[in-house]
Structure 1
Amino acid sequence: MSSKKRLLIVAHAPSPNTLKLRNATEKGARNPDIEAVEVVVKAPLDAGPEDILACDAIILGTTENLGYMSGALKDFFDRSYYPCLEKTQGLPFAYYIRAGHDGTGTRRAIDSITTGLRWKRIQEPLLCRGDYRDEFEQQCEELGMYVAASLDAGLI
């Protein structure tokens, strides 16, 4: 039996730029100084309640689509909500939004669902707003490293 904690990254990456963000998040989480964390990365349509039940923390990533989270992430929540509702209370999570505009509707939707699940947000959402900038990748890498290092150190 492994003593490693499991960090699940569920991120929608429909474009080359959003794939860079997901990869940067994974890179940060797999920092070589972080030893006791297993990182699992899945697209929302490939992830489900069994993945949530098996993890110790989760990072969500989504695009802003028409002022809302991606349909793929919404589908992930739709399939996972009730199977996880009473079993994952207090699950540490963080998320990023690739927002062409302001990300407000997307943030509101994710916060509403995760509040219902009683998950514990461990930092403010990362909003990558406006035209794509390379600094978004660094921010996502830092997010992944922060969450994985916090798991590794037993802080979450």
Structure 2
Amino acid sequence: MKQLLIVWHSRTGAARQMAEAAARGAAAAATQLEQTEELRIVLRRAAAVEADALLASQAFLFCAPENLASLSGEMKEFFDRNYYAVLDQLSGRPYALAISAGSDGAGAVRQTERICTGWRLKAVAPALIVNLGAQTADQILAPKTVPAADLIRCEELGGLLAGVTLMAG
């Protein structure tokens, strides 16, 4: 059985919704490919992911918010905690990235892509950025609802990752 690990962090709910949508898309793709028994989809908050989960996975989706033009603290801590424990052991595995942002998202994308380059992971798609337009302190801190069209994009990304995972040698 192959494993797709979806690692997420969310403060306001947006990145969690995106990760859950990707998991739904991955499950739907496995069903369409008639390979539900061949794919395990693990959806786990970043604080709960250790090196063994990374090593047991054949593909990854990293889903987090951008905070202050950087990757969110909990997601960054996940990478800090696990980086050297799996260095040179994940080479060539596919990954995708989904970022929830208030206006941009590019800083978090750049930061995560550099980390994934260090792990020698292979991106299967351009980073998906969901821009929610939160600009004031109240908007930024408020619970979020990701628009349906953006959740569909997340489902499609999850489906793509599932297909790549199942087809990987």
Alignment TM-score, normalising by the size of structure 1: 0.91
Q: CA deviation at 1:126?
A: 0.5
Q: Partners in 2 of 1:20 and 1:111 — Cα distance?
A: 22
- Answering whether residue 22 of structure 2 is matched by residue 22 of structure 1, we say no
Q: Partners in 2 of 1:120 and 1:23 — Cα distance?
A: 22
**Aligned pairs for 1:78-117 within 5 A:** 78-117=80-119
Structure 1: segments with no counterpart, 5+ residues: none
The equivalent of 2:154 in structure 1 is 140
Answer yes or no: is the 8 Å Cα contact 2:61–2:95 preserved in 1.
Answer: yes
Answer yes or no: is the 8 Å Cα contact 1:56–1:91 preserved in 2.
Answer: yes
**Aligned pairs for 1:7-156 within 5 A:** 7-31=4-28, 32-34=31-33, 35=35, 36-131=38-133, 132-152=146-166, 154-155=167-168
Q: CA deviation at 1:155?
A: 4.5
Q: CA deviation at 1:13?
A: 2.6
Q: CA deviation at 1:92?
A: 0.9
Answer yes or no: is the 8 Å Cα contact 1:48–1:80 preserved in 2.
Answer: yes
Compute the RMSD of aligned alpha carbons.
1.4
Greater percentage in helix: 2
**Regions of 4+ moved over 4 Å:** none
Which amino acid in structure 2 is aligned with residue 141 of structure 1?
E
User: Of the candidates 3, 6, 27, which is equivalent to residue 6 of structure 1?
Assistant: 3
Structure 2: segments with no counterpart, 5+ residues: 134-145
Q: Specify the SS of the correspondent of 2:88.
A: coil
Q: How many residues align?
A: 152
Alignment TM-score, normalising by the size of structure 2: 0.84
Which of the two has higher C-alpha Rg? 2
The equivalent of 2:136 in structure 1 is none
